Amino acid sequence: MGKLKERDYTVFTVIRMAKNRALGTTLDLDPRVTEFYRRIARDEGRKVYYFTDKTMDRVQCMDLSKLKAEDILTICRRGSNSTGVVLASENHRRLCFGYSIGENQIIICSYISAKGSMHSDHPDEVMKSMWLGNINISEDGVEISPYTLFSGISKLCAGANVRFDKKDGIPLRKILREVQKYPDAFMSPDQPGVVTFNVRKLAEDSRVPVSRGEAMAHNYKYDLLLKVLRMFLFLKTASIIEQTYISEGPAGTKAYQRVNGELRGYVQVDSTWDGDITVLNPFQVRGHFRHQPKKDERGQWYRELIYIDAFMKKGYHRRATKTIQEEGTGR
């Protein structure tokens, strides 16, 4: 694995812009994300994690279909008021995101990266193209919001306070005209006058070229945000299991440092992250979520969400990196 540099990952550019209060409204269509920018900009104690390609393959198999917001929010009870940054390799378009865990809310803002693109003549437009969107997890549910016009329009129709960039005005008006032209495809049959976008359907409809292009971008970003959610859940809920995997490289265990723009001492999330002892006869165990009874700091019982990845039980001993990290620095 080559050296990691801050300039290759958009999330660090966003953190610098947040520190300098230079984000403006372009990347902040959802006012709730303002708190995320404020927290991640000031928190120098944030950890940086790097997912190897093999770990990304494992994460992709995670089934989220039966998971509820209340399950995910158990993460807040064991790691509230913390922030972090997560990175993937160039094979995954340098997918990266920052997260902020509050007392009863989790906010994740995600980006893709293109090396050197931030030095173009129009960095603001480049930034918009690399911002995937955000994931907001609260008692109201899990809200996945790709950064596209469709997300903004849907919230606007629902009466939410949404800000649009001035440059979005022309495509926005074109989309609304296309909606009016084909109301059978884009208007709610149960609620006359209410716009309900079937984005998957729009992406296949040749009658609406502007809406179709925006819908394709929406679907692409939505699928990547699902991958981001899986990465976050794996990072925070992976249970220590008995398994055999070959590590892709040494796992970092020192505090995160930045030396001339180069990342050092980050925590590598590889096949040793959640792997510990294995002894029994070999057999395959499928990946699954489980609710583990635990006591919090006040001695009250709650059910902690943990993820147990698929693994083959057979022979070797090694302490999991996650255990080492938690013993050395806390959660």
Q: pLDDT value at position 245?
A: 37
Residue 205 lies in a domain: yes
Residue 1 lies in a domain: no
Q: Give the total number of structural domains in the chain.
A: 1
Domain that includes residue 296, residue range: 6-329
Sort residue 81 into left (φ over 0), alpha (ψ -120 to 50) or beta: left
**How far does Cα 101 stand from its chain's mean position?**
13
Residue 187 lies in a domain: yes
Q: pLDDT value at position 186?
A: 64
- Spatial distance between the Cα atoms of 331 and 325, rounded to a whole number of angstroms: 8
Residue 190 lies in a domain: yes
Q: Which are the contacts of 202, defined by CB distance < 8 A and separation ≥ 6?
A: 185, 186, 208, 211, 212, 214, 215
Q: pLDDT value at position 86?
A: 95
pTM: 0.77
Length of the chain: 331
Q: pLDDT value at position 235?
A: 93
- Spatial distance between the Cα atoms of 68 and 137, rounded to a whole number of angstroms: 10
Q: pLDDT value at position 280?
A: 38
Residue 154 lies in a domain: yes
253 DSSP assignment: -
Backbone phi, psi, residue 327, to 5° = -70, -35
In tens digits, the chain (331 residues) has pLDDT values of 567 888 889 999 888 888 876 565 445 556 678 778 888 887 667 889 999 999 999 898 899 999 999 999 999 987 668 899 999 999 998 999 999 999 899 999 999 986 544 444 555 566 667 889 999 999 999 999 888 887 767 666 555 555 666 677 778 788 878 877 776 666 666 666 566 677 887 888 888 888 888 889 889 999 999 999 999 999 999 876 544 433 344 444 444 556 667 777 788 888 777 766 444 344 456 678 888 888 887 888 888 888 887 665 554 456 778 787 777 655 5
Evaluate the CA torsion angle 218, 224, 227, 231 in order and state its sign. Answer: negative
- Spatial distance between the Cα atoms of 29 and 312, rounded to a whole number of angstroms: 45
Residue 39 lies in a domain: yes
Residue 128 lies in a domain: yes
